[in-house]
């Protein structure tokens, strides 16, 4: 019977090969080929009204020659770092609260955390424009309460509003994996630490937190990459000095009609993301070896 199953149409080995072929085809068609096309185009040149194939480093030299692009990259990195830090702290605290102190309300809290993910990204960003606007909900409520006499104009169209909206949008990407990691920690570990005389804070830093570091690193990596490449939120909530690198890339493929230079910028963004993912993976491996005592 087992040999018949092994030789059937859907044998384990055949399913494995079909899965591998499907993954390889997907990666080739939707990841490798588009990026290869962008990489080749980044060496092309743009005339006044046309784009012509060439092999030139002019587009990359232009990135480093003009300080405006380094300022945009610095602004994008700073915004992504602020959002990642805020999302990590708030997301970890929320996950720890759900896993430790609110076990009766876990389903409700998880639903409240995940329901916003089912709505449009554009809608979630636009909501903050309604909240923080000069005639928005926040200013109206504070004026009605007598806290302020005039609407506050500094709440919107700056880096603060971008970071606030992105933190709200990306917080679940930290909270959910950390919560799953905290739920998998055996309660016996925590109880054993307490039985040995360790106070709760020492138990957290020496038992709970190290076991949740891989999940936290994965969430941090995802949030940083998504924040660094976001363009909708800066376009809606940012000012003229808060342009991010993704907005510059889109403008090159749109109004500027400079696809080669836009491709060079996109390759630069890709290099930053790949470097970050590699660094995060190495940190995760180091944390794993530290836990195992290697």
Contacts of residue 149, defined as CB under 8 A and 6 or more positions apart, other chains included, come to 143
Residues in the chain, overall count: 294
Q: Which residue has the tokens 């939707």?
A: 30
Q: What's residue 7's pLDDT? A: 56
* CB contact at 8 A, 174 and 92: yes
Query: What is the DSSP secondary structure assignment for residue 118, as one 8-state letter?
Result: G
Cα dihedral sign for 218, 219, 220, 223? positive
Q: What's residue 204's pLDDT? A: 93
Contacts of residue 18, defined as CB under 8 A and 6 or more positions apart, other chains included, come to none
Q: Which of 153, 119, 148 is nearest to 136 (CA)?
A: 153
Mean pLDDT, 10 residues at a time, the chain of 294 residues: 54 84 92 92 88 90 89 93 96 94 87 89 90 91 91 89 95 95 91 89 92 92 93 89 89 89 92 88 79 63
Q: What's residue 289's pLDDT? A: 76
Q: Which of 100, 57, 84, 83 is nearest to 261 (CA)?
A: 57
* CB contact at 8 A, 34 and 266: no
Q: Which of 234, 238, 265, 260 is nearest to 249 (CA)?
A: 265
Spatial distance between the Cα atoms of 99 and 203, rounded to a whole number of angstroms: 15
- Backbone dihedral angles phi then psi of residue 275, each to the nearest 5 degrees: -60, -40
Point out which residues pair with 52 in neighbouring strands. Answer: 45
Q: What's residue 81's pLDDT? A: 95
Spatial distance between the Cα atoms of 58 and 41, rounded to a whole number of angstroms: 12
Q: What's residue 91's pLDDT? A: 96
Reduced to 3 states, what is the DSSP secondary structure of residue 294?
A: coil
Instruction: Give tens-digit pLDDT for 150-195.
Output: 888 889 899 999 999 999 999 999 999 999 999 999 989 988 988 8
Contacts of residue 45, defined as CB under 8 A and 6 or more positions apart, other chains included, come to 51, 52, 54, 56, 58, 260
Cα dihedral sign for 278, 284, 288, 289? positive
Spatial distance between the Cα atoms of 5 and 13, rounded to a whole number of angstroms: 11
Angle between helices 121-132 and 137-144 (to 10 degrees): 30
Q: What's residue 96's pLDDT? A: 94
Regarding pTM above 0.85, the answer is yes
Q: What's residue 127's pLDDT? A: 92
β-strands 51-52, 45-46 pairing: antiparallel
Point out which residues pair with 51 in neighbouring strands. Answer: 46
Q: How many CB atoms lie within 10 A of CB 136?
A: 17
Q: What's residue 8's pLDDT? A: 58
Q: What's residue 170's pLDDT? A: 95
Report CA dihedral (265, 268, 272, 275) to the nearest 10 degrees: 160
Q: What's residue 14's pLDDT? A: 82
Q: What's residue 76's pLDDT? A: 93
Q: Which two structure tokens, joined as six digits, stand for 294?
A: 């290697």
């Amino acid at each position: 019977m087992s040999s018949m199953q092994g030789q059937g149409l859907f044998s384990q080995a055949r399913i494995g090969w079909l899965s591998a072929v499907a993954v390889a085809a997907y990666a080739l068609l939707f990841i490798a080929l588009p990026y290869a096309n962008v990489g080749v185009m980044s060496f092309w040149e743009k005339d006044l009204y046309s784009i012509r194939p060439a092999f030139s480093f002019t587009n990359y030299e232009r990135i480093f020659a003009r300080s405006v692009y380094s300022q945009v990259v610095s602004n994008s990195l700073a915004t992504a770092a602020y959002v990642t830090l805020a999302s990590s702290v708030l997301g970890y605290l929320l996950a720890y609260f759900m896993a430790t102190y609110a076990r009766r309300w876990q389903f409700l809290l998880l639903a409240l955390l995940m329901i916003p993910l089912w709505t449009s990204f554009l809608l979630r960003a636009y909501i903050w424009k309604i909240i923080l606007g000069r005639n928005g909900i926040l200013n109206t409520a504070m004026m009605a309460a007598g806290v302020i006499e005039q609407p506050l104009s500094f709440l919107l169209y700056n880096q603060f509003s971008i970071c606030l909206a992105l933190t709200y949008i990306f917080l679940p990407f930290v909270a959910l994996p950390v919560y799953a990691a905290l739920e998998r920690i055996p309660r016996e570990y925590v109880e054993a630490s307490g039985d040995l005389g360790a106070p709760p804070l020492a138990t957290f830093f020496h038992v709970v937190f190290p076991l949740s570091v891989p999940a936290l690193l994965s969430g941090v990596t995802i949030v940083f990459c998504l924040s660094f490449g976001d363009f909708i939120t800066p376009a809606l909530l940012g000012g003229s000095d808060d342009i991010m690198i993704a907005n510059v890339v889109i403008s090159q493929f749109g109004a500027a009609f400079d696809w080669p230079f836009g491709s060079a910028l996109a390759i630069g963004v890709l290099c930053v993301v790949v470097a970050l993912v590699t660094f995060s993976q190495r940190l995760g491996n180091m944390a794993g070896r530290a836990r195992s005592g290697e």
